[in-house]
Structures are given as structure tokens and as C-alpha cells.
Amino acid sequence: MANVKFFGEESIPLEMHKVRIVQKLELPPIERRLQAITEAGNNTFLLSNADVFMDMLTDSGVNAMSDQ
């Protein structure tokens, strides 16, 4: 964290990094989603990020935001 001085004497602490919050999402066809869940033995924790459109359980970030 860095202190940034603007107009005047006050310094404001700012975190010096950018967070990527917009990413193109693709909804795999139902056949691919069924195949992926079958290959994972019906264990959603074994799915890869490419096979997950919206993750409502974990904090993995795959559902952060969309530009749509």
C-alpha cells in the first residue's frame, strides 16, 4: 500500500494494483456440461474452470462479473 498525496497536505493510502473484473464467459452446450459432470464423478469440485459457467458455492472467482 502506498500513500498518495493529492491537492493539499493530506495523504490517502491506495493499494497499488489492478483487479481484472471483466472477462468473456462462454456457456458450454448442455451435452458438454453433462459429459464434464459425468467425468468428474458428479463431484462439482473436480470440474475445471472452463466447464463452469457460474459458481455459486466456492470463492474461486469464476463468476465475479460479466460484461454482458
DSSP label of 46: G
Q: 31-60: per-residue pLDDT in tens?
A: 999 999 999 999 988 988 888 887 777 665
Widest CA span of the chain, in angstroms? 62
pTM summary value: 0.50
Q: Where are the domains of the chain?
A: 23-68
For 14-24, what is each residue's pLDDT tens digit? 777 676 666 67
The span from the CA of 57 to the CA of 51, in Å, is 15
CA dist., res. 43 & res. 37, Å (int) = 7
Asked if 37 contacts 47 with a C-beta cutoff of 8 angstroms, the reply is yes
From first CA to last CA, the distance across the chain in angstroms is: 32
